[in-house]
A and B are shown apart, each in its own frame.
Chain A
C-alpha cells in the first residue's frame, strides 16, 4: 500500500517535469522581448497616468495653474515621443513582416518547382 502510494505521489511531479519535453511544439527561444508590455508602452502609460494625475491634483487644488501647465507640457511631450516611437516601431515591424512573407513565398515557389 505504502509503495503504491509513494509511486502515485512520485508520478505527479514526474508527469509535470516530463510534460514540456513530451510536447515540444517548437517553443520559441526563452525571451521576454515579445511580451505585450514593452518599454515604450510603459513610457506611454506613465505619461498618460501623469496627465491624469495632474488633472486630478489640479482639480482638488493641490496644483497651481502654472505648475499644471508645466507638467502638462512635459507629459504630453513624453506621450507624443512614445507614440511616435511606437509608430516607427510598427512601420519597421511591418516592413520586416513583409520581407519575411516575400521570402517564404519565394521558398515555397522554389519547393513547388522542385516537385
Chain B
C-alpha cells in the first residue's frame, strides 16, 4: 500500500509538471488541444494524490511504524480516533494534505471556469499546476511522508500533546485549506489578466465566488484556532499576536479587502488594477504564512510543523511575486478603469479607504512580525515584538475599520449628498452616543472600550434599522411582516448576506472588547475543601484524582461552583503531563453564558494537596464563538445563486432582438 502511494506521488509530480507546461504553452500559443490536455491532466490529479493520502492514513491507522513519518508522529498510546487525522500533525504529511487540497480545489475551479473563459482558464490552470508542482517537488525531494525507515521501531515517538484535542481534527486542515485556496482566486485574476481580459470584467464573478469561499475558510480556520487556544492552551486567552497567528491573519486581511473591492469592479468597472494588486498581495502573504509556519525564523508556540525548508518557501514566494509583478507590468495597459469617481462622498471611496486600512493592518502586522529578524541582522540585538505592540498599533486601525463597516453600507454608490449622509447616519450615531452614555451610567469605565462598544452599537443600529425600514416599506405594499422581511432578504441576497456577516463581525468585536478589557483573573492556591471567590462566583475545591496512562499522567480536579447562592454544578478541569515530551497540557473547564464565561484551569498540583488554579471571568466571550455560525450562514446566504431575473441577463439580447423584429 505504501509503495503504491510512493509510485502515485511520482506520477502525480510528473503529471502536475506536464499540466503546468501544457497549460502555459497552450495558452501562450493559443493551442486549444494542448491547453485542454493540460487541464484534463489537472483533473486527474485529485485521484493521483488521493492514493498516497489513503496509504498514509492507512499506515497511521494500522500503526505501521516502518514509515518514518508515522513513527515520528504517532505511537501505540495514541487514541484510535486521532490516527485518522495524525497525517497533518507534522511537516511532510501536512504538505501532502496541502497538495491534495490544491489539486481538488483546482479541479473544481477550473471546471467551473473553463466553460465561460477557456483562454483565461488555460493560464489559471498553468498557475495552479505550477504551485502544485512546487509542492510535489518538496514532497518528493525534501519531505516524503511515505519514506520507509531501515529498521522498524517497536513504537513511534508520539505526537505533540498539545495537538491531542478535538480542535486538531478541524483547525489545522481548515487553516491550511484556506491558505492554499488563496491561489484559486489569484489564478483566476492573473489568468484573466494574462489572457488580456483584465479590462473586461467576466472573471469578476468567478473571482468573487472563489474569493468569498477562500475568505470563509480562512475565517473559520482562524476562529477555530482561537477556540483551540482558548480551550486548551490554558491561559484564558485566544489570540496572542504570535508570529504564526499573524501569518494566518495577514492573508485574511488582504482577502477581506479583495472581496469588498471586487464588488466595485463588478458594479462600476473600476479598481481593475487595484484588485490585481490586492490578490497578488493576498497570495504573497499566504505564502509568507506557510514560510513562517514551516521554516519559521521567528520563535512561536506553533512549531508543530517546523522544518528546515523555509528557504524553499521563501524562494518560491519571491519567484511568484516577481513573476506576478512582471505579468502585471506587461498587462497594465489592459487594466484601465471603465469609469471614474462621481463623488468623493460615495460607497466607492469608502471601499477604497477600507482596502487601504486592511492593507495597513496587514503591513503593520508583517512589520512587527519580521522586525526581530531585521533587528537581529542589522544591529545584533534581539528584541521581541509582542502583543502590546500589535494591540497599540493595530487597535486604532481596526476600530476605524469597524466605524467604516457602519458607515459604508449606508452610503449609496456613485454619489451621496451631504444631507443624505446626515440623514442616514443620525440614528446609528445617536445609538452609539446613547450606548456610551448607558455604559458610563452603569459605571463601566475605560474610554477605549466604551468607544469601541459605542461604535459597535452604531454599526448594529445602522444594519438593523435598514432591515426594519426595508421590511416596513414592503409591508406598505400589502405583504405581511414575516413575508416582507423574508422577501427583502431573499431578493437581495448579496447585500443582506453581507449585512449578516457584518453583524457577525460586530459580535466578534463585542466578544473581543469584553474579554480583553473586562476580564477578571486570579491565580489561587486551594487545598481540598477550600473555597475561593471571584466576581460573584464561589467554588469549592473537592480534590484531585490522579490516573496513569501509558503516555501520560492525568490529574483531574473536581470543583463545585456556585453563583449568587445557587449551585451551578461540578467542574472538572485537568492537567495531563506527558513525560516523553516533558509537556504539560491543561484543559480548562468553562461554564459559558452569553454574559460571561467562568473559566478555571489548574496550573500545578503539589504533593501536599495544594493546587494552584487560574480562575477567570471573561465577559462576552460567548459572542465570539457564536459569531462563527452566523458568519458562515451570512456568507452562504450571500453566495447562494439567485434566480437570474430575466430582465438582467436575457432581456438585453431579447430587447435588442425585439427591437429588430
Asked if A and B are interacting partners, one says yes
Which residues of A line the B interface, CB within 8 A? 2, 5-6, 9-10, 12-13, 16-21, 24, 27-32, 35-39, 41-46, 48-50, 53-54, 56-57, 59-64, 66-67, 70-71, 74, 82-83, 86-87, 90-91
Whole-angstrom CA separation of A46 from B7 in the bound complex: 51
> 19 A-B residue contacts at CB 8 Å?
A13-B44, A16-B40, A17-B41, A19-B40, A20-B36, A41-B652, A41-B653, A42-B202, A44-B648, A45-B649, A53-B412, A54-B412, A56-B470, A61-B424, A61-B473, A64-B423, A66-B417, A71-B413, A90-B660
Number of interface residues of B (CB under 8 A): 74
Taking A13-B48, A17-B41, A30-B119 as contacts, is the C-beta distance between A67 and B412 under 8 angstroms?
A: yes
Contact A31 B266 (CB under 8 A): no
Contact A10 B31 (CB under 8 A): no
A-B contact count (CB 8 A): 172
B51 at the interface (CB under 8 A from A): yes
Whole-angstrom CA separation of A30 from B495 in the bound complex: 36
> Which 8 residue pairs across A and B have the least CB separation, nearest first?
A20-B36, A16-B40, A27-B32, A37-B202, A13-B44, A64-B420, A16-B44, A13-B15
B197 at the interface (CB under 8 A from A): yes
Contact B37 A21 (CB under 8 A): yes
Which residues of B line the A interface, CB within 8 A? 3-4, 7-8, 11, 15, 18, 22, 26-27, 30-37, 40-41, 43-45, 47-48, 51, 116-120, 122, 195, 197, 199-202, 205, 266-269, 338, 342, 410-417, 419-420, 423-424, 466, 469-470, 473-474, 492, 495, 647-649, 652-653, 655-657, 659-660
Taking A46-B268, A90-B657 as contacts, is the C-beta distance between A20 and B37 under 8 angstroms?
A: yes
Whole-angstrom CA separation of A82 from B649 in the bound complex: 12
Contact B652 A83 (CB under 8 A): yes
Whole-angstrom CA separation of A19 from B15 in the bound complex: 14
Contact B473 A60 (CB under 8 A): yes
Excluding A36-B116, A57-B412, 16 further A-B contacts by CB distance (< 8 Å) are: A9-B51, A13-B41, A17-B15, A17-B37, A20-B33, A21-B37, A27-B33, A30-B26, A30-B119, A31-B30, A32-B118, A32-B195, A35-B117, A50-B414, A61-B469, A86-B652
Distance in Å: Cβ of A84 to nearest Cβ of chain B: 9
Whole-angstrom CA separation of A74 from B469 in the bound complex: 26
Taking A16-B40, A62-B466 as contacts, is the C-beta distance between A9 and B117 under 8 angstroms?
A: no
Contact A48 B647 (CB under 8 A): yes
